[in-house]
């Protein structure tokens, strides 16, 4: 990794703001490869140099990847002047500048959301070329039968003429307001809600439970998040059988 200023490295790892880390350095609390580093402008390679703060080794992370169980009522955005965002829910211990939600869920949609500061990762995940499947569970306003399942399989067409790729619709719990599962590999605006509207149903509740091979950790309560492992990050791109 290219050499960077010590104060920039520490600020990027949420050790403190740029001025706070400069103060730490000036107070002699930071060591670089065993030597007290008194100048914030000293250059270091954060991946190979040994940096200690108050005697504790810095474990440098180029990017962070968080799995969130998004609750209803918050917007999938980095900032909003009026409403609470998913970034507002990230605890201080996991927060760093530049975090954003990789993809969007509607305000009332719950479930699996990835939050990261890695633009390339998000771009690859959202690119149609990657064909990453998303699995949703929904409760809908009318019974679902073979006709609706076939229409989803053929590819739904919205009223404005937009065509969707084939999707898999499965009934999990039949009834007047059935619980269903839908698997899609695109991310059109309000896609699931519009797909059901096209077959005459309203979505009453919507939750994303899987992205590629990454499954929502059900131990996460709504609003909670945790760091993803490297294996979980790779699982996003696992190819699923259509």
Q: With beta carbons less than 8 A apart as the criterion, state whether 86 and 98 touch.
A: no
- Smallest distance, Å, CB 38 to ligand URA? 51
Site string for ligand URA, 174-213 (x = CB under 6 A): ----------------xxxx------------x-------
| Residue 168 contacts ligand URA per CB under 6 A | no
Q: With beta carbons less than 8 A apart as the criterion, state whether 193 and 200 touch.
A: no
- Smallest distance, Å, CB 110 to ligand URA? 9
Considering only residues 105, 211, 216, 228, which one is a binding residue for ligand URA as defined by CB under 6 A? 105
| Listed ranges 24-32, 103-111, 215-223, 229-237: which one lies at the site for ligand URA (CB under 6 A) | 103-111
Considering only residues 52, 106, 186, 217, which one is a binding residue for ligand URA as defined by CB under 6 A? 106
The beta-strand segments (E) located in the chain are 4-5, 30-32, 35-36, 43-44, 51-53, 56-57, 65-70, 100-101, 110-116, 134-140, 168-173, 179-184, 203-211, 214-215, 225-227
| Listed ranges 23-31, 105-113, 124-132, 154-162: which one lies at the site for ligand URA (CB under 6 A) | 105-113
Helices (H) and strands (E) in the chain, counts: 6, 15
Find, among 209, 210, 213, 192, the residue nearest to 201 by Cα.
192
- Smallest distance, Å, CB 173 to ligand URA? 20
d(CA 43, CA 96): 21
Considering only residues 13, 69, 109, 116, which one is a binding residue for ligand URA as defined by CB under 6 A? 109
d(CA 29, CA 139): 55
120 is catalytic: no
Q: Which residues are catalytic?
A: 106
Which residues are at the interface with ligand URA (CB under 6 A)?
105-106, 109, 190-193, 206
């Amino acid at each position: 990794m290219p050499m960077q200023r010590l104060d920039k490295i520490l600020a990027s790892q949420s050790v403190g703001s740029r001025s706070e880390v400069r103060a730490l350095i000036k107070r002699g609390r930071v060591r670089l490869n065993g030597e007290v580093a008194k100048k914030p402008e000293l250059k270091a390679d954060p991946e190979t140099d040994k940096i200690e703060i108050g005697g504790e080794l810095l474990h440098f992370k180029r990017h962070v990847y968080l799995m969130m169980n998004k609750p209803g009522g918050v917007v999938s955005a980095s900032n909003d002047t009026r409403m609470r965002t998913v970034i507002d829910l990230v605890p201080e211990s996991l927060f760093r500048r530049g975090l954003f939600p990789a993809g969007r869920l509607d305000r009332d949609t719950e479930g699996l959301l990835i939050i990261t500061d890695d633009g390339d990762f998000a771009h690859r995940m959202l690119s149609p070329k990657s064909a990453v499947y998303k699995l949703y569970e929904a409760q809908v306003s009318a019974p679902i039968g073979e006709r609706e399942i076939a229409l989803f399989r053929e590819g739904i067409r919205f009223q404005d003429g937009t065509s969707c790729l084939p999707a898999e619709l499965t009934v999990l719990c039949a009834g007047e307001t059935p619980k269903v599962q839908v698997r899609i590999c695109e991310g059109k605006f309000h896609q699931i809600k519009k797909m059901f509207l096209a077959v005459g149903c309203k979505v009453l509740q919507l939750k994303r439970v899987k992205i590629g091979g990454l499954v929502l950790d059900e131990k996460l309560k709504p609003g909670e998040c945790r760091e993803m492992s490297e294996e979980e990050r790779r699982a996003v791109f696992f190819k699923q059988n259509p």
